């Protein structure tokens, strides 16, 4: 498995045998409503350009009546084992029933940044174990935490449930972070924070495009657009995350001419 970077920094997983041919091109992220597509452009004989999707290129799919589905729902995971072809129109049926998502214990996909979150609970406390590039690594980190918390005899792991097979667990150290669900921003102070955040993000659109803003903040650009447009609100954990990212980017923003008082 190897990694290709898009023009905006997203990591795309591909098989070793596909890496050389794919890495010769510039791949970019295209947003189609809430769907993320990894694409490139090729020039035709008539000098017009044609958009090519990376998953169709990998499977050499040219039939317009067929589409490619990502088994685990992650558009950045383009290993052949994660791709399969179905008739066009059936993808909505799959999406509604969530048949294209791997069901590993303790793992869920975070659409905002295309990563997999591992989490585990004990005695009523939920712990976040971190975010990972693949569902398999997240599942193994869950297993590692389950063995540490419950012991080999009591732990229900993905391996013991036959959901995943592996020879050894990752050497990555476990970080048990208590996961607190954020609250709705309804109070006067919360509403002031939301207005301030919305104003800052709106100012950023004068200097950057939404894709660039999303890459800088490590957040879904379509969600940011909807927030700025007042089509949706954020809970407290999202607001705190974005303020933390803005704090880290403060010097970069000031160099580009955007001064913010955080």
Tokens standing for 234? 């954020």
Q: State how far the alpha carbon of 52 is from the alpha carbons of 36, 39, 45, 234, in Å.
A: 14, 5, 15, 34
Query: Residues 125, 84: one domain?
Result: no
Helices and strands in the chain: count of H runs, count of E runs: 9, 11
pLDDT tens-digit map of 69-83:
888 778 899 999 989
- The structure's pTM equals 0.44
183 found inside a domain: no
Query: Residues 6, 91: one domain?
Result: yes
Query: Residues 144, 210: one domain?
Result: no
Q: Find the CATH number of the domain harbouring 25.
A: 3.90.75
262 found inside a domain: no
Query: Residues 10, 85: one domain?
Result: yes
Contacts 24+ apart (CB under 8 A), 192-196: 193/239, 193/243, 194/233, 194/234, 194/239
Residue 49 contacts residue 114 (beta carbons within 8 Å): no
> Phi, psi at residue 114, to the nearest 5°?
70, 30
Query: Residues 197, 231: one domain?
Result: yes
The helix-helix angle for 221-228 and 188-204 (nearest 10°) equals: 120
Among 39, 63, 97, which residue terminates a domain?
A: 97
136 found inside a domain: yes
> Phi, psi at residue 71, to the nearest 5°?
-55, -40
Q: What is the mean pLDDT of the chain?
A: 85
Rounded to an integer, the average pLDDT of 203-229 is 89
pLDDT tens-digit map of 16-67:
999 999 998 999 998 876 678 899 988 877 778 889 999 999 999 999 889 9
Query: Residues 9, 90: one domain?
Result: yes
Query: Residues 92, 14: one domain?
Result: yes
Instruction: Please determine, for residue 102, whether its predicted confidence score (pLDDT) is greater than 80.
Output: no
Query: Residues 90, 121: one domain?
Result: no
Domain that includes residue 229, residue range: 188-255
Per-position DSSP letters for 116-183, written without gaps between them = EEEEEEETTEEEEEEEESSHHHHHHHHHHHHHHHHHHHH---TTTTTS---SS---PPP--EE--PPP
Instruction: Please report which confidence band the pLDDT of residue 97 belongs to, taking 50, 70 and 90 as the band edges.
Output: very low
**How many domains does the chain divide into?**
3
How far apart (Å, rounded) are the C-alpha atoms in residues 246 and 260?
9
User: What is the three-state SS of 174-213?
Assistant: CCCEECCCCCECCCHHHHHHHHHHHHHHHHHCCCCCHHHH
Residue 122 bridge partners (DSSP): 125
């Amino acid at each position: 498995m190897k990694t290709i970077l898009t023009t905006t920094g997203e990591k795309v997983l591909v098989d070793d045998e596909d890496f050389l041919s794919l890495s010769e091109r510039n791949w970019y992220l295209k947003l189609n409503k809430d769907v993320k597509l990894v694409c490139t452009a090729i020039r035709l004989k008539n000098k017009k350009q044609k958009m090519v999707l990376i998953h169709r290129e990998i499977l050499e799919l040219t039939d317009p009546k067929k589409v490619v589905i990502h088994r685990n729902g992650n558009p950045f995971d383009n290993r052949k084992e994660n791709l399969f072809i179905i008739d066009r129109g059936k993808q909505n049926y799959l999406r509604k029933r969530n048949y294209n998502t791997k069901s590993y214990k303790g793992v869920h996909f975070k659409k905002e940044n295309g990563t997999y979150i591992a989490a585990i609970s004990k005695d009523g406390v939920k712990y976040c174990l971190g975010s990972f590039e693949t569902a398999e690594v997240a599942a193994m980190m869950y297993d590692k935490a389950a063995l540490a918390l419950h012991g080999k005899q009591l732990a229900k792991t993905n391996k013991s449930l036959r959901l995943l097979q592996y020879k050894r667990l990752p050497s990555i150290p476990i970080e048990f972070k208590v996961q607190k669900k954020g609250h709705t921003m309804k109070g006067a102070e919360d509403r002031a924070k939301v207005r301030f955040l919305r104003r800052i993000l709106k100012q950023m659109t004068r200097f950057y495009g939404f894709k660039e803003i999303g890459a800088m903040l490590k957040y879904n650009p379509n969600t940011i657009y909807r927030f700025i447009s007042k089509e949706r609100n954020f809970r407290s954990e999202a607001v705190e995350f974005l303020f933390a990212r803005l704090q880290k980017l403060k010097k970069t923003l000031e160099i580009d001419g955007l001064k913010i008082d955080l």
